[in-house]
């Protein structure tokens, strides 16, 4: 496979091309089932536009797709993207999403870059009914989307569930909320197993160039008896747009006030006797984006965003006076970029500045203030040579400055040197890509990426040694085919040659004092991703994906699922729509906080969901009633040793809109 990918890159050097800066959308309707293939619906000046050579690695879920899945959270959506692995564990990094065998996914919500330390705690409770689309970009060589280096101490690579060091952002999940498209007033009422409830009111309006939308949500669950997994959230989301010829602007504000118990682990974990909860846990995300078109070619944009999560964490295990600690995690971003776009070329240059801080101590650095700055710059150009051929290339530099930190990532090491005002070595990312239209049905895509980054100096390492610079050489070759409305396959082969890969070789401490000890090794990752979608006769449609990944390092190979499959089958007849969703994750092993550090079985499960909805008119209002079942096989599957899924859930939802 490695030589096949290399041959594809050689072909790229001869002939490859993308349709630069062009948005192309195909819609096919067969017996009322609609399948939409999206090239890129972002405006040409958007910072989230990806090159055509990355089209095979972009999975987009529209509002119709999201409704068809009937997800409980954003993670249910992301899990249906080929190569995506969703995991869940205890309090300090509860939810995690990884791609292609271990690297994390950067999260961007309406322009707000959300660090993993925030996303792992707040994203699971974001109201999915307020989402317009979710785009999963499985390619870190898209250098304009966001930083490829993480903030804050990381806790991963081999045996822990949260994002790791090195060039850890292997891609991005771009979430866009619904916008006002006219006058609308509506509400949602939902009830499910374990006394789970969700109520939402929304209002939108548009007149001329101005629009806005307001969403208020109250949700909660009692959780399964004895599992310590109750939760409740009250949130408000507001956004607005101004779209005129000489100026374009938009904003978003999201605030949530939550209480969340942290699911109790089983005896397989060293934390099984701990009962944690957050009360309150508050989240604030806001963004303001301005775009100034100077003429038909040039547009300058400026964006500001802030993300903040505060939490009062309580450990109430059999103590008259529970242990508690307050936490704060905040990030700010300023982004300036300029786009010059013609019919055959799109050039973008940008500068980004980030500040992340946790004055109360972050995760295992409790009571040790941390503050990090990241200064980034990028250039990217995409040029169409002719109707078949285009090339693209880009470079990004991320330079991290640690204002406050600790010398070693371990709560047990006393007298550590404190890091103050210290630059880390910059991370450098290069990308080349292209697309070649073989004929009217086939398109060949190829990409090469290179990243270079030193491990952060604060990592605790085996024998106290220094970790060498990590380098990644990334090769991708893909093909898209448009045979028939019923059959549209995409195939991608990839190979990552990772040198001096920083990984967690061991875990020190236990429970609240657990930390990782790092080492480095050379690793080859390679795999294949396949997806296919289509509209079938008699109201049927489907969307399926498969991914396979393997490595040449046994210790890494056993702790990642090799095979993952997802399938969505839909059927629509008149006003009745039904969907069957299957997600299979292959078996692997995990020993994060495992009792006795024993590797234990994880994965190896099939999750089956189903829903049926009926659309109708109620006194002039548009209404939809939905019945759904999740995890119909009632499988208490495990993704991290000691934490099980709560099993089968039944529920119903009613939406009414005027």
| Cα distance between residue 330 and residue 544, in whole Å | 38
Residues 268, 594 contacting (CB under 8 angstroms): yes
Q: Looking at per-residue confidence, does 37 or 611 come out higher? A: 611
What is the predicted pLDDT for the residue at 425? 86
Q: How confident is the model at residue 494 (pLDDT cuts 50, 70, 90)?
A: very high
- For the entire predicted model, the pTM comes to 0.88
What is the predicted pLDDT for the residue at 76? 96
Q: Does the N-terminal peptide bond of residue 280 adopt cis geometry, omega within 30 degrees of 0?
A: yes
What is the predicted pLDDT for the residue at 530? 96
Q: Does the pLDDT value for residue 29 go beyond 80?
A: no
| Cα distance between residue 118 and residue 263, in whole Å | 18
Among the ranges given (22-31, 272-281, 471-480, 542-551), the one the predictor scored with the smallest mean pLDDT: 22-31
Q: Which residues pair with 602 in a beta bridge?
A: 588
Structure tokens at 473: 């050489």
Q: How confident is the model at residue 166 (pLDDT cuts 50, 70, 90)?
A: very low
Q: What is the mean pLDDT of residues 236-263?
A: 97
The H-assigned helical ranges of 498-616 are 554-557
3 state DSSP class of 3: helix
Q: Which residues pair with 125 in a beta bridge?
A: none
What is the predicted pLDDT for the residue at 383? 98
Q: How confident is the model at residue 279 (pLDDT cuts 50, 70, 90)?
A: very high
The H-assigned helical ranges of 503-582 are 554-557
Beta-carbon neighbour count of residue 423 at 10 Å? 11
What is the predicted pLDDT for the residue at 508? 61
Q: Which residues pair with 54 in a beta bridge?
A: none
Structure tokens at 561: 């699922």
Question: Residues 415-454: pLDDT tens digits?
Answer: 555 678 889 889 999 999 999 999 999 999 999 999 998 7
What is the predicted pLDDT for the residue at 458? 63
Backbone angles phi, psi at 484, to 5 degrees: -165, 150
**For the chain, percent of residues with pLDDT exceeding 90:** 63
Residues 561, 572 contacting (CB under 8 angstroms): no
Q: Which of 251, 252, 250 is nearest to 237 (CA)?
A: 252
Q: Does the pLDDT value for residue 14 go beyond 80?
A: no
349 burial type by CB count under 10 A (0-12 exposed, 13-18 middle, 19+ buried): middle
Q: How confident is the model at residue 305 (pLDDT cuts 50, 70, 90)?
A: very high
Secondary structure in 3-state letters for 156-222:
CCCCCCCCCCCCCEEEEEEEEECCCCCCEEEEEEEEECCCEEEEEEEEEEEECCEEEEEEEEEEEEC
| Cα distance between residue 215 and residue 238, in whole Å | 6
Domain ranges of the chain: 2-657
Question: Residues 591-643: pLDDT tens digits?
Answer: 888 888 899 999 999 999 999 999 999 888 999 999 999 999 999 999 999 99
Q: What is the mean pLDDT of residues 234-254?
A: 98
Please work out, in degrees rounded to the nearest 5, the angle formed at the alpha carbon of residue 194 by the alpha carbons of 323 and 315: 5
Among the ranges given (364-368, 372-376, 495-499), the one the predictor scored with the smallest mean pLDDT: 364-368
Residues 403, 426 contacting (CB under 8 angstroms): no
The H-assigned helical ranges of 15-127 are 63-69, 74-78, 116-122
Q: What is the mean pLDDT of residues 61-76?
A: 96
What is the predicted pLDDT for the residue at 363? 64
Q: Does the pLDDT value for residue 32 go beyond 50?
A: no
- DSSP code of 456? P
What is the predicted pLDDT for the residue at 456? 63
Question: Residues 588-603: pLDDT tens digits?
Answer: 999 888 888 899 999 9
Q: Does the pLDDT value for residue 24 go beyond 80?
A: no
Q: Which of 376, 334, 293, 352 is nearest to 44 (CA)?
A: 293
Q: Does the pLDDT value for residue 159 go beyond 70?
A: no
Residue 257 parent element (H or E): strand 248-262
Fold topology of 2-657: Maltoporin; Chain A (2.40.170)
Residues 434, 56 contacting (CB under 8 angstroms): no
The H-assigned helical ranges of 20-108 are 63-69, 74-78
- What DSSP string describes 340-358? EE-SSEEEEEEEEEEEEEE
89 burial type by CB count under 10 A (0-12 exposed, 13-18 middle, 19+ buried): buried
- DSSP code of 539? G
What is the predicted pLDDT for the residue at 185? 97
Q: Does the pLDDT value for residue 484 go beyond 50?
A: yes
What is the predicted pLDDT for the residue at 589? 94
CA-to-CA dists, residue 499 to 197, 423, 450, 462, 470, angstroms: 48, 23, 11, 18, 6
Q: Looking at per-residue confidence, does 155 or 346 come out higher? A: 346
What is the predicted pLDDT for the residue at 34? 41
395 burial type by CB count under 10 A (0-12 exposed, 13-18 middle, 19+ buried): middle
Q: Looking at per-residue confidence, does 113 or 91 come out higher? A: 113
Q: In which residue are the tokens 């079938």 written?
A: 536
What is the predicted pLDDT for the residue at 341? 97
Structure tokens at 572: 């629509």
Residue 591 parent element (H or E): none
Q: Which residues fall within 8 angstroms of residue 297, CB to CB, at 6 or more apart?
A: 340, 341, 342
Q: Which of 50, 54, 53, 30 is nearest to 40 (CA)?
A: 50
- Mean pLDDT for the chain overall: 86
């Amino acid at each position: 496979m490695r030589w096949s990918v290399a041959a594809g890159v050689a072909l790229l050097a001869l002939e490859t091309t993308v349709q630069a800066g062009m948005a192309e959308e195909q819609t096919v309707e067969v017996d009322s089932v609609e399948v939409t293939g999206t090239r890129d619906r972002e405006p040409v000046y958007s910072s989230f536009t990806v090159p055509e050579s990355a089209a095979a690695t972009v999975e987009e879920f529209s509002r119709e797709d999201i409704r068809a899945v009937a997800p409980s959270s954003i993670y249910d959506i992301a899990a249906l993207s080929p190569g995506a692995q969703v995991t869940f564990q205890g309090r300090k990094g509860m939810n995690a999403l990884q791609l292609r065998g271990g690297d994390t996914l950067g999260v961007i919500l309406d322009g707000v870059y959300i660090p993993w330390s925030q996303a792992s705690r707040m994203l699971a409770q974001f109201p999915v009914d307020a989402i317009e689309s979710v785009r999963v970009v499985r390619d870190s060589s898209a250098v304009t989307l966001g930083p490829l280096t993480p903030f804050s101490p990381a806790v991963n690579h081999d045996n822990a569930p949260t994002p790791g060091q090195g060039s850890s952002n292997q891609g991005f999940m771009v979430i866009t909320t619904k916008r006002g498209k006219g006058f609308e007033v509506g509400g949602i009422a939902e009830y499910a197993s374990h006394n789970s409830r969700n109520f939402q009111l929304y209002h939108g309006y548009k007149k001329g160039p101005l629009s806005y939308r307001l969403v208020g949500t109250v949700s909660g669950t009692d959780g399964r008896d004895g599992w310590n997994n109750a939760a409740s959230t009250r949130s408000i989301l507001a956004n607005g747009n101004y779209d005129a010829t000489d100026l374009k602007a938009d904003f978003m504000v999201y605030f949530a006030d939550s209480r969340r118990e942290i699911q109790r682990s089983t005896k397989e974990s060293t934390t099984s006797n701990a009962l944690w909860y957050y009360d309150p846990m508050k989240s604030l995300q806001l963004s303001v984006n301005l775009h100034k078109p100077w003429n038909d070619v040039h547009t300058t944009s400026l964006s500001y965003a802030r993300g903040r999560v505060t939490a009062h964490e309580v450990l109430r295990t059999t103590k008259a006076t529970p242990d508690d600690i307050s936490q704060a995690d905040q990030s700010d971003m300023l982004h300036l970029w300029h786009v010059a776009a013609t019919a055959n070329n799109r050039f973008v240059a940008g500068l980004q500045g980030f500040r992340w801080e946790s004055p109360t101590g972050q995760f295992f650095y409790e009571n040790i203030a941390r503050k990090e700055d990241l200064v980034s710059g990028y250039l990217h150009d995409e040029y169409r040579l002719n109707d078949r051929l285009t090339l693209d290339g880009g470079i990004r530099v991320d330079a991290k400055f640690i204002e406050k930190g600790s010398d070693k990532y371990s709560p047990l090491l006393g007298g550590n040197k404190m890091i103050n005002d210290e630059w880390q070595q910059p991370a450098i990312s290069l990308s080349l890509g292209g697309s070649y239209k073989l004929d009217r049905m086939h398109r060949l895509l190829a990409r090469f990426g290179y990243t270079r980054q030193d491990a952060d100096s604060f990592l605790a390492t085996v024998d106290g040694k220094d970790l060498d610079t990590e380098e990644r050489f990334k090769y991708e070759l893909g093909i898209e085919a448009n045979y028939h409305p019923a059959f549209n396959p995409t195939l991608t082969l990839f190979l990552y040659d990772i040198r001096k890969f920083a990984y967690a070789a061991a875990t020190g401490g236990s429970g609240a004092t657990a930390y990782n000890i790092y080492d480095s090794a050379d690793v080859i990752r390679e795999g294949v991703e396949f997806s296919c979608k289509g509209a079938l006769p008699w109201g049927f449609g489907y969307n399926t994906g498969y991914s396979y990944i393997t490595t040449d390092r046994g210790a890494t190979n056993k702790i990642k699922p090799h095979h993952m499959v997802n399938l969505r089958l839909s059927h629509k007849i008149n006003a009745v729509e039904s969907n069957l969703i299957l997600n299979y994750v292959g078996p692997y092993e995990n020993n994060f906080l495992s009792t006795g550090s024993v590797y234990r079985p994880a994965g190896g499960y099939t999750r089956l969901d189903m829903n049926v909805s009926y659309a109708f008119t109620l006194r002039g209002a548009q209404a939809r009633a939905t019945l759904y079942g999740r995890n119909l096989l009632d499988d208490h599957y495990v993704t991290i040793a000691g934490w099980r899924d709560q099993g089968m859930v039944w529920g119903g939802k009613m939406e009414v809109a005027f």
